[in-house]
Structure 1
Amino acid sequence: MSEAITLAPLVAWPVIAALAASAALLAGFALLRRSRGAFLRAMALAVLLAALLEPHLIREKREAQPDLAVVVVDATPSQSVGNRTAATAEALARLQDKLAALPDLETRVITIGGTPAEAATRLFAALEKEGLQDDAHRLAGLVLLTDGQVHDAPGADLPRWLQAPVHVLLTGAPGERDRRLVLEHAPAYGLVGRTVEIAFRVDDLGPRSPAVAAAPVTVSVRSDGVPAGSVSVMPGQSQVLPITLDHAGPVAVELSATAAEDEVSLRNNRAAIVVNAVRERLKVLLVSGQPHPGARAWRNLLKSDPAVDLVHFTILRSAEKDEGTPLKELALIAFPVQELFEDRLKDFDLIVFDRFGQRDLLPAAYFDTMAEYVRNGGAMLIAAGPEFADAHGFADTSLKDILPGLPTGRIVERPFTPQISEAGRRHPVTQPLAPTAAAGVGAGTAPAPAPAWGRWFRLIEANAPAGATLMTGPDAAPLLVLGRVGEGRIAQVLSDQIWLWARGFEGGGPHAELTRRLVHWLMREPALEEERLSAAISDGRLVVERHSLAAAAATVEVTLPDERRLPLALAESADGLARGSLVAEEPGLYHVSDGTHEAIAVAGRTNADETIDLRATAERLQATAAASGGWLGWLVDSLPGVRRTAIGRDTHGKGWIGLRRTGAEVVRGVTEVPLLPPLAVLGLGLALLAAAWWREGR
């Protein structure tokens, strides 16, 4: 129970002050003149002024509150190193037993977790989110179970709500060692065929012998999961690594430093970067032969892309043919055969033949050159017309050894709608174009729906024993065939009717998308590879996709940032993709392998504070503990005892930590009693005035 007198003035304080001054002057003047009844009038004025102040007696009923001890458990990713998690759990259990034995003390355990997306441990910010400042009046102390890697420690400048001791119990051990690989500079983009430079260094943290400090460290390099050599670097010195971008799209570069002796973790020995490679210009050679209604379809499509440098020639006469007509009177110029097919062929990224028939228009030696060009990594696209079935067509040249489809000599001329084959429904070039099955129809339970595309009217019949047939025509005859030869690629469209789609005949078809994906596959775009493995972090999960033309269940091996290996089963689907996922709790590099292909994914930010230094440390929290009167020590030494201390007394000593007694109370009830009731004031005032008048009348 506590009592206090409060005032609730009926008028403003300036008015009361003015009235009090006037009353004092009048009373003083009357007293100086020794007027009869002056003292009684002064008392009446004082009573009236007191009534204007309206004094009250406040009685509060208070109840003592238990003090609050808060145990903060650091469960961020750095705490998973070594045996820190187990040591934290054991210390928490023992600490809770000690706190439970203390009277008038409430214990609250707050666990501060973390996700790979978080770059640092924000422990004190998390405490404020928990509303701890609302209980600051009864806070007996904080006990932190952590490895010391706290990145928002206030130091000596404590927040206003934190007036209790902060005791720090450190996991790990003093003098730990760690090796880390730090990316200093990594470009986000680069040009295909060019070299980009990645700057990095290797740091050895913690005590090292002079011999170890002077020894070089080997850093292994992998590009898109394929070993790309290694370099030796001195610890603490920057190193520049050149990487050649050999294909368009994302290029994943992984760096891995060898393990150091007795280091606490290997998870920051690796780093990865994804460089998006773009083509400066795509150089295409388009060679047209027999004129036909769709002759300009390929030219218009290629010219519509500003990133394409197109060289287009139409060949209708042999370079050796001499008709006796002066060159200036010819409708067409002589084809620069030697310049293109001897000197500049290797400068082109893609060669496109549109209804081109051999017919002695090019010397046989140049077909040998083109075949070698493809084998060495070049790309060729053949849009076949009736000339392809001719006995003197491509099949009569050295190109026959690289063609995925060879003509039978038969030309089919009847209406048909191009279809996506079973292989095409799984191949990334044509899979997005395939009509999807109706809802509720599982893969293989019903025929695939037919596409609603315009019809074509001619197909050059061919056998494709060595190629992948993605689209078919009448009687399931090959229409679009892809093949790989050496390091290069070749595609055949066994019809000259795609221009009907371009002109919207019967609604047209996806000619632009089909051609774009076809060209990107020829250019080895990673996203269009038939057999590929990909990994990405999405919503806190590692999502793995394996694309394959073969329908088979797959299990991949996932290497976690802490080097643990886990199997992951992928669920097969009808579109050629097998998918699976697992929770990505730890920041760092995830490595996925199916035995043939590899993929990487990075959780969290590269060089994040949470993983850049995994040693347990006392430095970050030492100033905070000292400023608050708290204790800092290592759990490997011992778990200190716990005592209650009075405010103003020491809050730690040898082998113990103290929790202050706050004496916090909560008000359970309030009683308010007026000291000058209105009727009493009125009666007293009238009595005093009556007495004054009576005295004056004597």
Structure 2
Amino acid sequence: MMTVLVVAALAAMIASFAWSRRQLDPRRPAALAAIALRCAGFGVLIFIVLQPARLPSPQTVTTRRVLAVLVDQSASMSTGGAGATRLDRARAMVRDHRVVEQVSEVAEIAIYGFDADLIPIDPAALDALEPAGRRTDLASSIERAVRRHRGSDLAGLLILSDGRHTEGAEPRDAARRLKTPLFTAAVTDPALPDAPVDAPRDLALTSVTAEPRLVLGQSARIVCAVESLGYPPRQVAVTLHREGRTVATTAVALSAQQPKRPALLVVTPDRVGSHRYEARIAPEPDETDPTNNVAEITIDVVDPVNRLLYVDRLRFERRFLKPVIAGRRNLRYAAVVPLDGQRNLVQGDDEALRAVAADLTPDGLRQVKAMILGDLPASAFDPEQIAAIRDWVGSGGALMILGGPQSLGADGFIEALGTLIPVTLDRPAPYVEAPSRVRLTPAGAAHPAFQRVSKQWESAAPLLSRFGAQGVRAAATVLLETTEPVVAPLVVSRRAGHGKAAIVLTDSTWRWQLGHDRAGPGAAGGADTPHAVFWQQMIDWLLPDIDQTDDEGGQVQLLTDRTTYEVRDAIEVVVNVRGADGSAAKGADVRLTIASPDGRPIERTAEPAGGDDPTYRATFDAAYAGAYAIQATASVAGRPIGVDRIVVNAVQPLVEFTRTEPDPQLMKDLALLSGGKYLEPSDLDDLVRLARLEPREVVIQPNADHDAVPVWNRWWLLALFVAIMTAEWVVRKRNQWV
């Protein structure tokens, strides 16, 4: 279009000369002036029409170069030797040679994890990288990294990989085609030492736990945590000793999948006192540390006499509660009323317990099975006695706290007993005086303290007061609550260590002594009133269950030799069945239910392994890829023993796992074909020089499309054109030319 305009302008100028030639005589000065002015005007017009522009001078700038670091995160990097995976060694190369720090001082660095994809990662997150990629595509990863930095001064790619390429185009072709240097470092496995070094092997008793306090006649269930390191799957025998005699024996099944299991030992002490037991594992000849094969535990055994200590001030609540306690035939008690800082009123039918009530020492509290703390300030006890009570509950004692203006007041037990109290309270707890109806919660309906009157609480006489709680502590259970004027917890219980604790958030349970508002059982006062039944059964709950049996099920331990299989593998399941006493269960019925990935259930019956092996075994095939949820249920003579569950996975066979040997030659070829360099780990210390990462000066040439500066759109050019044409017009006007 521009050429057409220029040609048209020239044609117009030639036509103008041809038309005016008849009038202009070139020999006359005026004619020469008119011709010159006309030529000048056309020249200016053509200059404007051509729209000329000028380019600025080239610029020289200093740029920071970019290095992209690619770290292989495919599954083959999970293999290795000397206690570290290949990915661990790749991370160590970056960390030990300060790759990030030295590059960041002079250039930009970008780190990527790659397998079949290229994933940017923060340098700080390099330790979180997992070798989970199912395929490795080196060619695609290199090309993607170069494309990501197109437009920047990319100095090259640093590739840390084992060179195991399993998918995609040939990486060597990509290295030839790209004009970007590749600096490669092969991550290989360390050479085996001349003398083999065995991995650490150890069997350990990491912990031994049991109820620290038992009543004579009860069985102690001692749980030993047994751990195996470096050994193949095996049965490990655990024995329990006392005074040089073996008193119990059991075994636990350990493998690489389940390296830590509990072993159950049951023993019944035969006398009152402190019993020290020693659990042992026979040391192996090649065991690294046989000193952790022994662990001790001490259990206190108390006599079966039920002793209850009740401490309260003289008040209406005590007047009705003490006769309930005194009326229990299977209970010995002491009731203490502090009179002043020095004297106590002590009542009861147990001389030893009355002596304990005087000082509440830890040794004395061992004779006490349950304690009821009434409306007293915490200052009624010294700090040593408060600490003794806390320890006593943690070791198996049972504590009931009764609400009252002093016990829950500013100087009450709220701070002194702390988390032993099943609810959180303000200090002091707000005292609400209002008639309150009560009802059982679902948990309370199943509680021993409410069984005989579980359906009559709505008709019980309303209470006169209650104490407001902020909330219920974790693991605590609300048994009884008020329904009017508001719903609020009234009786709350919880486990506290090996013991138990409860609180009654009212000081008017004596109202239940009046019976029920409507006619029915216990309508009149007496032994069957809600008050008597509640406190009788609450005391039964506080006292230990002397008739404990060992019928508490057993142990079922489900094992496989690993957690991940390939499709079409046969998965063998091993089930270790132990009775309640820790001994091997013979004649057990062991059923397996397997939920397969396709939703089809698989049923198997585990058969005894035979011989000296007490385990049960079954096998099934992994037909599909995915998770297999395995549940084992065992019973003996129809009596359930226990249940165990595990999950294993089946995956399609992976080249990453079938061909894991490193390929350092490929890494060397990529460096050679791309103009880069193959690096030994020590070369990384000099990476800035080798990769030429120092900032460099770049001459930027101006671009005609973006940087050109127009020179035709000036105001003075237009003024010049107007002046020339005006002068030409004046010349023609004076000479009367057309």
- TM-score tier (shorter): 0.3 to 0.5
Task: Tell me which of the two structures has the higher relative contact order, counting C-alpha pairs closer than 8 angstroms and 6 or more residues apart.
Answer: 1
TM-score by length of 1: 0.34
TM-score by length of 2: 0.33
Structure showing greater Rg = 2
